[in-house]
Structure 1
Amino acid sequence: MLLGIILALIGGSLVGVQNMFNQKVNEKAGGWSTTALVLGMGFAASLVMGLFFEGRELFSFGSMQPWFWFSGLLGVGVVTCMVQGVKRLGATYGVAIAMASQLICALWWDSAGWFGLEQVPFTLQKGLGVLALIGGIIVFKLGGRAVQTRSSQSYSAGGTVKAES
């Protein structure tokens, strides 16, 4: 379990860094070029590492539902949406919303037992955990707004607050 937690923490950190890198590429190259570059490099790296570590077993897919083969196509949506979300919201807010969305969807799919997942009963505790995360994102976003409002005000000689134009 500890290894799983460590790997999930590393994975989350890598997603955050990747989103920032992707945004920098997007500033120079555009959204579709960024998506092609990111997924193309990911394919090349996966292929080389897979061949090195697994050899021919890399191409042994066993018996799985054919529609699962297309999960890589979802990566196009992931990269494109994240690049545009970070561009419009900033890295922290964009990634936080994506994380909340992932948690909500994972809870929903686990609870329903979709996509061949083992059905995990929905509990009030799990629902409250998701709501706490969403509440934290709202507090994070609104907290930044209060700081911006204070910093855009100036004080007159008499101590009264005047908003700057």
Structure 2
Amino acid sequence: MLAGILLALIAGSFVALQNIFNSKVNQHTGSWSTTTLVLGMGFIASLIISLIVEGKGTFALQNMQPWYWISGMIGVGVVICLVQGVKLLGPTFAISIVMTSQLAFALLWDSMGWLGLEKVPFNFNQFLGVLVIVGGIIVFKFGGKAKGTEAAQAPVLGRTGTQE
């Protein structure tokens, strides 16, 4: 269990780091160029590492449901939405919303047993946990600002380096 927790923490740090890099790339190109670059580089890195680690097993895809293949297309939606979310909301706020959404939808899919998942009973404590996280995001975003003392927001620069 400790290894799983450690890997999940590392994955979370990678997601946050990737979104920062993606937003920086998006400042110099468009969202679709950013998505192409991110997923293209990810494909190349995954292919090379997979060939080193798994060899020919990389291409052993029999007995896989055909609809699992859409995962890559879902990845396009993930990158596009995250790049735009970070651009519009900032990294911390956007990622906190993304993580809460992930948790809520994972809870829904688990409790319904959808997409081939083992059905996990839903309970009030799980729902309450998601609400506590949502409350934390609201406090994080809107709490602690005294009236009239809000910090000045830095202007958002577009691809051309001009303020949008």
Task: Give 2:149's aligned residue.
Answer: 150
Task: Give 2:40's aligned residue.
Answer: 40
Cα distance in 1, alignment partners of residues 125 and 132 from structure 2: 10
Mapping of residues 10-159 of structure 1, within 5 Å: 10-143=10-143, 146-147=145-146, 149-151=148-150
Post-superposition offset of 1:61: 1.5
3-state SS of 2:143 partner: helix
Cα distance in 2, alignment partners of residues 148 and 18 from structure 1: 34
Cα distance in 1, alignment partners of residues 61 and 146 from structure 2: 53
Cα distance in 2, alignment partners of residues 151 and 44 from structure 1: 44
Post-superposition offset of 1:51: 0.3
Q: CA 1:57–1:122 in structure 2 vs 1: closer, same or farther (change >3 Å)?
A: same
Post-superposition offset of 1:65: 1.2
- Greater share of residues in helix: 1
**Which of 1 and 2 has higher RCO (CA within 8 Å, sep 6+)?**
2
The alignment of Structure 1 onto Structure 2 pairs a total of residues equal to 151
Post-superposition offset of 1:148: 7.2
Stretches of 4+ aligned residues off by more than 4 angstroms: none
- Superposition RMSD on alpha carbons, in Å? 1.2
Post-superposition offset of 1:29: 1.0
Amino acid at match of 2:44: A
Post-superposition offset of 1:143: 1.8
Post-superposition offset of 1:69: 1.3
Q: Which runs of no fewer than 5 residues in structure 2 stay unpaired? A: 152-164
Identical pairs, percent: 59
Cα distance in 1, alignment partners of residues 114 and 55 from structure 2: 32
Task: Give 1:2's aligned residue.
Answer: 2
Q: CA 1:147–1:80 in structure 2 vs 1: closer, same or farther (change >3 Å)?
A: farther
Cα distance in 1, alignment partners of residues 108 and 31 from structure 2: 30
TM-score where L is the length of structure 1 = 0.88
Post-superposition offset of 1:114: 0.5
Cα distance in 1, alignment partners of residues 148 and 103 from structure 2: 32
Residues 48-104 of structure 1, C-alpha deviations (whole Å, 9 max, x = no match): 000000000001123121000121110100000000000000000000000010001
Cα distance in 1, alignment partners of residues 108 and 46 from structure 2: 30
3-state SS of 1:149 partner: coil
Q: CA 1:147–1:9 in structure 2 vs 1: closer, same or farther (change >3 Å)?
A: farther
Cα distance in 2, alignment partners of residues 148 and 28 from structure 1: 36
Q: CA 1:33–1:115 in structure 2 vs 1: closer, same or farther (change >3 Å)?
A: same
Bigger Rg, structure 1 or 2: 1
Q: Which runs of no fewer than 5 residues in structure 1 stay unpaired? A: 153-165
